Amino acid sequence: MAESFNPARIPAMWVNQVLNREHDDVRFEAFANEVATVLEGAPVVGTSKSWDLGRDGRALGERQGTFVLTTLRTDSDKAKEDATRLKSKARKIRHVYYVAPRVTSEAVLEAHCEDIRAIVGEDVVVDPLGGPQLEDLVAGGKAAEAFRQHYAGPETEALSLQVSLVAGARNPLNLEFSWTVA
């Protein structure tokens, strides 16, 4: 008899494929805030969609001054626009997570971070999370639950089937990222 277990390791290839196809900025912001929550060890919450102050997430309590900037674009224009709004509205900026899943080059990520630092202050820590870093965090298990929460289900059924068939999985429609072990 086969034994089913969950959570299983989510393949980095799945993370890459799902995030490269992401088009819902609200869902992606929520995912990025969950990842920042894991990394901070404290809540990072979403912000108002109607009054954009340049931040997609902000930390609470002792972690105040920590912000999340996200983009699904590959250029630095949105990052600079968000950093400019953040600088003009935030009282204290201590730490910024810049989350851009489609940016895969370390050189490009660092250039974007330099643009952000030039605006918010050279003393501010800017942590870039591009595609490879998000893949590592999810596939390594640290942010797997955040990924499942926002990306498991109908939105990823077709991709899950494609990846499973390519990988030769026994149960290609197993959308909970579980593996069946005989």
Spans of all domains in the chain: 11-161
- Is 91's pLDDT higher than 80? yes
- Region 59-70 average pLDDT: 81
pLDDT for the residue numbered 157: 53
Mean per-residue pLDDT, 54-83: 82
Range 146-152 average pLDDT: 90
Lowest-confidence range among 41-50, 56-65, 143-152? Answer: 56-65
| Nearest partner of 164 among 11, 42, 46, judged by Cα | 11
Structure tokens at 2: 């086969």
First-to-last alpha carbon distance for the chain, in angstroms, is 7
Confidence of residue 135 (pLDDT cuts 50, 70, 90): very high
The CATH architecture one would assign to domain 11-161 is 3-Layer(aba) Sandwich (3.40)
Answer whether 0.75 is exceeded by the pTM: yes
